[in-house]
Every structure is written in C-alpha cells, then in structure tokens.
Structure 1
Amino acid sequence: MNKRDFRLFTAALLFALLAPALPLYALELTVDEAVDYALKNGKNLKAAAIELEIKKRESDTSWNALLPSVQASASLVRSNEVHNSFKNVADMLNPLYTFHGIPPVTVPEPLEKDYWKAVGNIGITLNFNAALVNEIRASRADYEAGFILWEQALRETERNIRKMFYGLLLQSEDLKLQETTLINAENRLKQAEIRYKNGLAPELALLQAQAAYENQKPEVLKAKHALKRQFDLFIFLLGLPSDTVIELKGTIEPVFVDIDAERLIADCSNRRFDLASLNKNLELMRLRLLSMNLQSYTPSLSLNYTWQPVVTDIGKDWFKDKNVIDNGSFSASLVWNITDTLPFSQNRIRTRSLNDNIRKAEIQYEAVVQKAENEIRSLADSLNQRRLLIEAGKGNIELAQKTYDMTLEAYRTGTVRLSDVRDAETRLNQAELGLAAEKYNYLCDLLDLEYALNTNLCNF
C-alpha cells in the first residue's frame, strides 16, 4: 500500500467512525413549517386528539341507550324430587283395590333421567324514559365542548410555537451582536498591541483592551449555551428527534395592523374560546338539569318479553312439541319513583345544586366577558404603543451607528479613549437589540390578540 492509498484508507476509516455522530444536514424551517411540525407531531396534541375521538365515539353511539337488553341462557336442571302425579293417584286407589281384592297398581321408581330438565331462556327488556332522549342531546353537547377545547389547543400550540420561533431569532440576534462585539474587542486588542510596541500607547491601554476582550468571552459562551437550551426545547415541542439540527429561516419583521379595540370587541369577542366553552358547558348543565327533572316527574315504561322453553323429558326428542313447554311471558309496566319528587329527596337536592351551579356559571360568564374586553383593550393599546417605539428605535439606531463610527475613527487617531469606544459600541448594540426586542414584543402582542379573538387580524 503506497502513501496515497494509506491516506485514503485512513480518511475513509475516520469518516466511517465519525459519520454516525455527525448530522447529515440541518433541517431548515420557516415559522409556518415549524407550526405544521408541531401540529402533526406534538405529543400533547396527540393525547388531546385521542380524548376527542373518545368523545366523538360516545356522541355517535349515544343512541344505543334506546337499545333493548337481550339476554340468552341455557341450563340443565336436576330436581331433588320427581313429582309423579300417577304415583299419587295410585297411592290413593290402592287401599280400595286391596279392600275389593284387586291387585294394587305398581308404579316403577323414577330413573335418573326423570330428575333432569333442559331449560332455555331468551329475555328482551326495554326501559324507556323521556330523559333518555335528552341524554343523547347532552352527549352531543359534551362532544361539541370537547371539540372547542381541541380547537383551543391547536390555536394555543400555534401561538406558542410562533412566539418561540421569533424568540429564538431574537436570541440568535443577541448572540450575533455579542460575537461581533467580541471580534471588535479582539481587533482593538491587536491594534493596542501594535500601538504599544510602537510606543504610541501606554501599557495601561493595552491591559484595558485585553481585559475588555477576555471579559466578553464568557458572555458569548453563556449566550450560546442559553440558545442551545432553547433550541432543544423547541425541537421537543415540534415532536422531532432530540438529535435534530434545525436552522430557522425568517426575520423579526412584524406587519403593522391598524387596531380599533371597540370594533374588535363588537365584531370578534364572541369568537373567544373561553366564552364558547362556557356557553357550551352551560348548555350541557341545562340539558342535564332537564334530564333529572324528567326522571323525577315522568314515569318509565318497561317492556319485558321472555321465551323459556323447557324440555320435560331429556330422554326423548328435545324438538318435539309435546316434549317442550314454553314458560315465557310478556309484561308492560309503568314505573314512577314518587320518592324522587319529594323536595328533600337526593334527586331533588342534586337538582337544586345543579341549578345553583348554572347560576354561578352565568355569573362567571359575565365576568369573563368583562375580563375579555379589558384584555382586548390592553393588547390594542400595547400594540399601538409598540408601533411608535419601533419607529423611534429606527432613528436611535442610525444615531448610535453614526456616533460609534465617529468614535472609532477618533480612537484610531488617538483623540478618544478605549472606554469611549466601548460605550459607543454598547449604545449601538442596545439600540439594535432594543429595536429587535420591540419588534418581537409587537409580534407577541399581535399573536396574543389574535388568540384572544380567535381570528387573523392581518386578514381582518
């Protein structure tokens, strides 16, 4: 093996050993793609989908409460004593026969088969009360309440993923600024070393530049570690494998929306999930209250039919009509539990408690309406204020950038100190990060308002 082949073999071996530990590519995600991943793969949503499917199945099959109960059974029965009517008659007549000199009648002893009977039974029972129909409606309302919670979970997941996506972009922007600051500090250190060697700057200036560079390193490492932790959490929420490497595609550039709080309250507040959920729960409680009243004040109809064939002699053909007796019957009954109508009965006490809970929920609904209006006004005011701050922040960046450039040029000519450069750079970083933070806050407030109204304000 020559040197070239040996180098190729070594490279191939190293690649084979390291390849499983290295990601093949980074998964690029836009904010919409991230939301799509979370909605399809999120474990919490999968569990909520199963719960919704259970409620849907119960709603679709709630009519089975009207099905009759059908039971079938078959038994072999052995009697302790055989009832023989012929033997009883013979026992009565034999004394007369003996008196007249007639030989007594002899009745053979029963055989084992005479002790056994075969009994079949098919019973059909139908119990009906007006409350059953109402319970079917309640089951449907329960599913609709679950569907509202499901939609709320979807919308909440979408909002949280979008917030986290833009939050990661903001953290990445902060890291870039800190890395740029570190590079600038390194460049100033090199410049200070040159100036010191050439006798153009004192040793103190060199030490200050070196301290500024060394102090910036831990800040960059902390920012990288914090960003990695947030990316790990983001990957978990998306339902991706933990070793997935993702790259975010997007910018923190909000679309400004003209907000009229009173118009939004009038047009969209009825779409809120909390109000819709309370409304559906109120409907469900009223249906259950009606069911309890129907159970108390209306009778129940009970229909029962039983077919019970009995084989009298198991030693003969079981399917001959003369060997089979039908002991079945049919009954129709009206049953009314009068105790449930008494005001101090358990049923009526539960009814009054449920009625009080309905009144409490109605008060709670009014409170939620008022709270919702305050929330919408607060978010609208915050959005309008942040829009003004973003416009002002753009001017601050231009001023800070100009100040930094002039200060840096003055430092190169030796007319200002290093601390002046660091101060100017800090103000520039603060202005850039502050603008990015205000844009992020505007996006978050807009997402919160859209969630609160359950609508898309960009298309409203």
Structure 2
Amino acid sequence: MLLAACTGAAFAEEYRLSLSDAIGRALESSLLLQARDLNLEAKKRSRDYVWNSFIPRMGLNGAMARMNETPTAAADHWNLSAGFSAQLDLSLALVQGIRSTSLEYEAGLIDRRTAEAQVKRDVKKSYYNLIVLQESARILEQSLETARRRYEQARRNYETGIGSEFELLSAQVAWENLKPALEEQAMGYQTAELSFKQLLGLKRADTIQLLDPLRIRTVEVDAETLIRDRVAGRLDLQAMRQALAIQRNARNLQRRATYTPLLSLIYTLDPTFAGDPFRDPWFQDPRGDWMQPTGMFAVNLSLSLDALLPFSSTAVKIANMESGIAEMEKALSQSRQAAELEIESLVLQLRKTQASMEVLELNVRLAEKAYELAE
C-alpha cells in the first residue's frame, strides 16, 4: 500500500486553473458529452444517408433441385434455376420518413447543447464554491487565532488577578469550540475539491490552484425583459418543442401510410436451365437452354381498406397519437409558465441577495471598527 501511495504521488501533477481553463478541460473529458457526440453522430449518419430509401430491395438466389419422383415428360431428374428480384415501394409517407431523420438530428443538437451548458454550469458552480470555501476557511482560521489570543489574554489576566476564572474558562471554551468547525470545513473542502477534479477528469492525487478570484458584480435585471428575450430560447423548451414536432411528424407519417396508396415497382428474373445440369453445357445456347417461367416487371398499387374503418386498430392508434400531441402541447404551455415564474423568482432572489450584501458590508465595516477599538 505504501508503494502504491508513493507511485500515485509520483505521477501527480499540479494545475493552475483559470475558470476558462477549467471549463475547457471539463468539456474535453466529459463522458456525458462524449455519449451525446456518439448519439449525434448516429443521427447525422441517418440524416445524410436518408436517400437510401429510394434504393430498391434486391435479392439474388440460385438452386439445384432433384424431383422425388421421375417426371413422365422428361428424363432429367435435376433442375437448375436462379432468381433475381428488385422492388421499390413509393408512397407519400416516405416524405415524412425523410423529414423524421432531420427532426431527430435537430433534437440531437439540442441535447448536445444542453449537455454542454450543464457541464459549464457545474464547473462554474464548483469553481466558485471552492473559492468560497477557501475564503471561509481563511476567515475561520482568523477567528480561531483571535479566540486563541483572547484566551491567552484572559489567562494572563487571571494569573495577574485582573480577570476571573469564569472569563478564563469562557475564553477557552470559545477557542476549543472553533477547532471542530475548522476540521469540518477542511473535510468539506476536500470533498468539494474531489468532485471538482472528477468534473475536469483529473486524478485524485493532482493538486489544483484556482487563479480567478470571486468577483461580485451588481447587475440590474428586469424580469419582464428576461421573459420576453430569453424564455423562448431556453434549451429545455426547445427540446420540448422539438419533441412535439417529432410527434406531429410521426402522426402525419402514420396518416399517409394508412390513407394513401402504396406504389410498388417490381422486377423479377427466374432463369431455369432446360437441360441436365450435370451432362449438358450451361451456356452453349443461352436463349434455347434457359427459360423464364415467371420473370416479369410489375407496377402494383395497394391500399389498406380495413384501416379506413374508424374503429380499426390503425385508426385508434392515430387517435391516440392526436391525444398525445394535445397532451404535449399542454405540457409545453405549462413548462413555459413555470419558466416565467422561475425567472421572476430568481430576479426577486437576486435583489434580496444584493440588499443583504449591502447590509453585510456595512456590518463588516462596523465590526472591523469595533475590533480596532477593542484592541
């Protein structure tokens, strides 16, 4: 175990990170983004090659068969044949199928942007949280040092008879009570630092130094302006609108596949050898030795009649899709209202925080002045 610890320490690295550096490393190492990229690549491939819907289905086969009973009209027991078939199905539903690949790709782009925004947000929160924890630890260390000095002063006062034993014990209790808080603060920082390293793809043994300070800027925001300019562009609402578009396209595809005819272009070849495949040459007289019993070109137009019934399974499926679309539209409206409410709540919270910060800054100045007078 000691050797493993030494080896891990030997390969540890030190990183001096600005916020932009941290975000860049997180974007490069994020497994979530890598998974989204793979998903997006598959959807892009489907969109780019969607024209393959116009490639006919083709098949080729060959067979050599022997009849169980000797034919009365011929002496050949063995039969040699081959087959080729091609079929292309065309319908109005094909247009909706092509459109679905583009819609799915656009949904993948939204998912990718959402994941990237999530990574950036998590890194920013973790980065600034570490800075706050560092500052909190520094303040707590100062408080501990101040409590120690007060205890030393109370001890000297007690030894010289100026102070009482109660004052001495009170100062000692105040000093000792701060020690567990400092240890708890250190543990909290270590936990937050490990989570931050995981976000950036760093090893646990690596050391980090944060370069950007925490700057607090007062920003005037208006809820109505934010709602008007920002709500429509929210990624979660974009994802819901895209899902709604995909569902509508799926409904249109089902409608066209059900209520419009299917045009099939069929071409088949079935050359059959008329002689004995073991004794006669196969290609001595191709026109005379090979026949096509059923080879043909056909144009087939078909329409499902049972699906036209309002109580058929297909009609019920389309009706259920309509209900699902209506439900998604209601959910989208509800989510937009929730987004507007969230913005209003955040604006109020920001204003409250700014007011609290002004009061706290005043309290800090008063406390510093009181401390100077006490010293």
TM-score by length of 1: 0.74
What's the counterpart of residue 381 of structure 1?
348
Q: Report the Cα offset of residue 184 of structure 1.
A: 2.3
Classify 1:24/1:151 alpha carbon distance in 2 versus 1 (closer, same or farther; 3 Å): closer
What's the counterpart of residue 324 of structure 2?
357
CA contact (8 A) 1:261 1:380 kept: yes
What's the counterpart of residue 252 of structure 2?
290
State which structure, 1 or 2, has the greater radius of gyration over its C-alpha atoms: 1
Amino acid at match of 2:78: W
Distance 2:338 2:166 in 1: 61
Distance 2:227 2:71 in 1: 86
What's the counterpart of residue 208 of structure 2?
246
Distance 2:107 2:160 in 1: 79
Greater alpha carbon shift after TM alignment, 353-362 vs 202-211:
202-211
What's the counterpart of residue 20 of structure 2?
32
Deviations 1:36-60 (A, max 9, x none): 2221111222222222222222222
CA contact (8 A) 1:43 1:239 kept: no
Report whether the alignment pairs 1:83 with 2:49. Answer: no
CA contact (8 A) 2:107 2:242 kept: yes
CA contact (8 A) 1:74 1:121 kept: yes
Report whether the alignment pairs 1:366 with 2:333. Answer: yes
What's the counterpart of residue 326 of structure 1?
292
Deviations 1:36-87 (A, max 9, x none): 222111122222222222222222223322321111111111112333537x
Number of equivalent positions: 369
Q: Report the Cα offset of residue 385 of structure 1.
A: 2.9
State which of 215, 236, 261 in structure 2 corresponds to 1:299: 261
What's the counterpart of residue 54 of structure 1?
42
Report whether the alignment pairs 1:229 with 2:196. Answer: no
Report whether the alignment pairs 1:168 with 2:134. Answer: no
Deviations 1:4-47 (A, max 9, x none): xxxxxxxxxx9999465356542121222222222111122222
Distance 2:5 2:57 in 1: 68
Report whether the alignment pairs 1:261 with 2:223. Answer: yes
Distance 2:173 2:10 in 1: 36
Distance 1:244 1:376 in 2: 39
Q: Report the Cα offset of residue 196 of structure 1.
A: 4.4
What's the counterpart of residue 444 of structure 1?
none
Q: Which runs of 5+ in 1 are unaligned?
A: 1-13, 87-109, 410-460
Greater alpha carbon shift after TM alignment, 243-252 vs 151-160:
243-252
TM-score by length of 2: 0.90
Report whether the alignment pairs 1:316 with 2:283. Answer: no
What's the counterpart of residue 393 of structure 1?
360
| Alignment RMSD | 2.4
Greater alpha carbon shift after TM alignment, 71-80 vs 316-325:
316-325
The aligned runs of 1:94-173 (5 Å cut-off) are: 110=75, 114-173=76-135
Distance 2:256 2:201 in 1: 48
Distance 1:376 1:208 in 2: 48
| 1:85 alignment partner, SS class | coil
Greater alpha carbon shift after TM alignment, 136-145 vs 178-187:
178-187
Classify 1:205/1:263 alpha carbon distance in 2 versus 1 (closer, same or farther; 3 Å): closer
Deviations 1:159-217 (A, max 9, x none): 12211211121112111111122222333334444444455444444443333332222
Report whether the alignment pairs 1:342 with 2:309. Answer: yes
Q: Which runs of 5+ in 2 are unaligned?
A: none
| 1:120 alignment partner, SS class | strand
| 2:70 alignment partner, SS class | coil
Report whether the alignment pairs 1:403 with 2:367. Answer: no
What's the counterpart of residue 70 of structure 1?
58
Distance 1:242 1:195 in 2: 48
Amino acid at match of 2:23: V
Q: Report the Cα offset of residue 157 of structure 1.
A: 1.9
CA contact (8 A) 1:75 1:119 kept: yes
What's the counterpart of residue 107 of structure 1?
none
CA contact (8 A) 1:69 1:126 kept: yes
Amino acid at match of 2:47: S
Deviations 1:368-393 (A, max 9, x none): 22222222222222223322332332
CA contact (8 A) 1:316 1:323 kept: no
| 1:252 alignment partner, SS class | coil
Amino acid at match of 1:144: E
Greater alpha carbon shift after TM alignment, 221-230 vs 325-334:
325-334
